[in-house]
Amino acid sequence: MSEIICQWLNDDLGLSKRVEPKFFASEFSSGYLIGEVLHKFQLQDDFDQFSQNRTANSKLNNFTRVEPPLQLLGVPFDQNVAQNIMSEQNGVATRLLYQMYIALQKKKKAGLTGVAMETMRPAAPAKLQRFGTEIYRERLKTIVPRQSDISLLKVSEQYDLKAKETDEKLAQIQNDELRKMQKIREELRIQDIEKLRRARRRQNEIMARIQAAIVQIPKPPTNRTLKAIEAQKMLKKKKEAEEVYTEITKFEKGMKNNGTVSSFSVNTRGPTLQRLRSSVNVSTALLKIDTTDDYIKNIQKRLEEDTDARDQREKRRRRILMEQLVAHGTQETTPPNAYKEAETFTAGEQLYSSLSWLWTTLQENHKEKIKVRIFFFKLHMWASVG
C-alpha cells in the first residue's frame, strides 16, 4: 500500500520532494507534505505559512493548520493521530494518506471545490467543528513540547554526555596511574628480590671461601688422648701435694721460731706428712693455712661462739616445750561445764543483739506508717474542702 501511495504522491501529484517507502514516516512527520497534498486539491489556502523545518514550533504550526481541511474531507484526525505522526510511529502516516487518497478521489469525482464543500456543510456542524478545532489546537499545544524545552533538553543531554566523557577520561587516567603504580611496585619488588638473591649468593660464596680456608687438623686417636688427660691430672695432683707439703713445712718452722707450738710434735708430723703425700685429692683451698697466731685465735673464737649459740638454742627449745606441756595440761584439767557456759553466754549475746535490731526496725516501720496515715488523712480533708 505504501508503494501505491508513493506512486500517487510522486507521479500524479508531483510533490516538491520525492517520497520513498522506506522514509515515509520521517518525511511526513513535519506535516509540510500533508499540507502540500491538500494545497494541490485547493483545500489548504494558507499553505504559504507552512514551514519545512523539523522543529517543535514548525510541527505545531503545520499540524494545527491541516486539521480543518481534513475534518472537511471527513478524514478522522485528532491530537493523538498528530502526535503519532510527529513521533514517526510506523504505519500511522501511511494510513492517514490512504484515507486522504480515498476522500480526495471522491471529491475529484464529484467535482467539488473547497469553497463549495464549505458552503454545502450545514451551519450547526460547521460551528461545532470550529469549537472542535479550538479544542484540538489547545490540546496539541499541551502535547507538543516547546522548542525551548527541547533545546534545553538537548543542551542538558550534551552536557551530560560531556560530563560522562569527562568522567570516563578521569577514570581512564586513574586506571592508567594505578597501572603505572602497580608496575613500579612490581619492578621495585623484583629489584628487592634480586638484591636479596645477590646478597645470599655473596654470603654463600664467602662461607664457601671460609670453609675452604679452614685447615682440617686430624684428630688424634682416642686412646692417646685419654692417656694424656690422665697424665696431666696426675701431674697436677702431684704438684698440689708438693705445694701443700712446702706450706706446712714453712708453717712449722715459723711456729718453732715463735715458741708457740704446743700441740704439734715430731711424732704427729711424720704420719701427717705421709698422709698428705699419699692423698692427691685434697683441695687446695683447705690447704692454704695462714702462718700467724691470729688465724688460730680466730678459729678458736669461732668454735667457742658456735658452741655458745648451740647451747642457747637448746635452752630455748626446752623452755618452749615446757610451756606447751603446761598449757596442754591446763587445758585438759578445765571442766567441760565451763566450755558450755561460755558457749551459752555467747549465744545469748547474739540473740539479744538480733532482738534489739528487730525491735528498732519495727519501731521505725511503725513511725513511717503513722506518717503515711496522717498524710492521707490531710489529703482527704483537702479534697473534701475543695
CATH number at residue 116: 1.10.418.10
Say whether both 272 and 206 belong to one domain: no
Same-domain status, 90 and 23: yes
Based on the fold, state whether residues 73 and 101 are members of the same structural domain: yes
Residues 6+ apart with CB under 8 A from 254: 291
Q: Is residue 221 part of a domain?
A: no
Among residues 103, 118, 144, the one where a domain terminates is 144
Q: pTM of the prediction? A: 0.40
Q: Are residues 111 and 92 in the same domain?
A: yes
Can you give the residue range of the structural domain that contains 162? Answer: 147-213
In degrees, to the nearest 5, what angle opens at C-alpha 307 toward C-alphas 304 and 311? Answer: 140
In a domain, 346, yes or no: no
User: What 8-state DSSP symbol labels residue 60?
Assistant: H
Cβ atoms of 22 and 11 within 8 Å: the answer is no
**Do the domain assignments include residue 131?**
yes
Q: 306 lies in a domain?
A: yes
| pLDDT attached to residue 373 | 72
What pLDDT sits at residue 300?
Answer: 67
CA distances from 15 to 27, 33, 109, 126, 309 (A): 12, 8, 21, 30, 148
In a domain, 91, yes or no: yes
Are 85 and 200 members of one domain? no
CA distances from 354 to 252, 347, 360, 364 (A): 88, 11, 10, 16
Q: According to the model, what pLDDT value does residue 197 have?
A: 93
Which residues have C-beta within 8 Å of that of residue 63, sequence separation ≥ 6?
A: 31, 82, 85, 86, 140, 144
pLDDT of residue 123: 66
Q: Is residue 47 part of a domain?
A: yes
Q: Are residues 386 and 269 in the same domain?
A: no
Note whether 17 and 134 are same-domain residues. Answer: yes
Could you tell me the mean pLDDT of each successive run of 10 residues in the chain, 386 residues long? 80 84 85 87 85 85 87 85 87 87 84 67 68 79 75 83 91 92 94 93 89 69 66 80 73 64 42 45 42 60 76 78 71 52 60 71 76 70 62
Same domain membership, residue 364 and residue 261: no
* Helix, coil or strand: residue 271: helix
Distances (CA, A) of 61 to 57, 68, 97: 6, 13, 19
Cα–chain center distance at 130: 73
Report which residue type is found at 8: W
Same domain, 34 and 130: yes
Size (the chain), residues: 386
Cell 628480590 belongs to residue: 193
As a whole number of angstroms, the distance between CA 92 and CA 76 comes to: 12
Residue pLDDT, tens place only, 204-255? 999 888 888 776 666 655 555 677 777 788 888 778 777 766 776 776 677 6
Number of domains in the chain: 5
Say if residues 39 and 13 touch (Cβ distance below 8 Å).
no
Quick one: 386 and 265 in the same domain? no
Q: Quick one: pLDDT at residue 122? A: 65
Q: Domain for residue 225, yes or no?
A: no
Count of H helices and E strands in the chain? 15, 0
> Of 92, 110, 144, which one is at a domain's C-terminal end?
144
| pLDDT score, position 279 | 46
Looking at the structure, do residues 120 and 153 belong to the same domain, yes or no? no
140 and 151 together in one domain: no
Q: How far apart are CA 29 and CA 59, in angstroms?
A: 8
pLDDT, position 180: 93
Residue 174 pLDDT: 92
